[in-house]
Amino acid sequence: MTNVLLGVIAFGVLVMAVIQVAAIVFAMSAARRIGRVADRLERDLSPVVSNLQAITSEAARVTALAAAQMERTDRLFADLSRRAEQVMAAVPALLGPAGKGFAFLNGIKAAVAAIYELRRSSRRGPAHPDEEDALFIG
């Protein structure tokens, strides 16, 4: 009977050893498959990663260009604003002499109009006394 028990124990140990060997073989096979999948994934994703790097560097370059352009535009508007303020500050100084010139021209215009009116009234001649008596009611 002890031989039978020893045989059962030996058979159990043998079954456990076979199961462990099978598990190790299965684990190694699975590890090889996972390694192949990882290699294929790395090979397939490497162009995507390089494209993402190129897109990122291009986006950084475009952002830098846009920032530089905005800075130039800001300087342009600042210069334009400063020049507009200078012109607006200079307008009253320019209008002072121009206003005097306009007043002088208006005076000449009034003088010419007065001379023209005098010439027109002198062409009519003096009013006849007979015409004035006809208008007199009295």
**pLDDT for res 103:** 74
Q: Rounded CA gap, 108 and 105, in Å?
A: 5
**pLDDT for res 119:** 75
**pLDDT for res 129:** 54
Return the ∠ at Cα 20 (arms to 17 and 21), rounded to 5°.
85
Q: Which range, 28-32, 72-76, 84-88, is most confident?
A: 28-32
* The pair of three-digit structure tokens given for residue 103, joined into one six-digit string: 């007043």
* The pair of three-digit structure tokens given for residue 138, joined into one six-digit string: 């009295």
pTM to 2 decimal places: 0.41
| Average pLDDT taken over every residue of the chain | 84
pLDDT top residue among 109 and 138: 109
φ, ψ (nearest 5 deg) of residue 126: -70, 150
The one-letter amino acid at 87: V
pLDDT band at 10 (very low <50, low <70, confident <90, very high): very high
Going from the C-alpha of 45 to that of each of 13, 33, 53, 91, the distances in angstroms are 47, 18, 12, 68
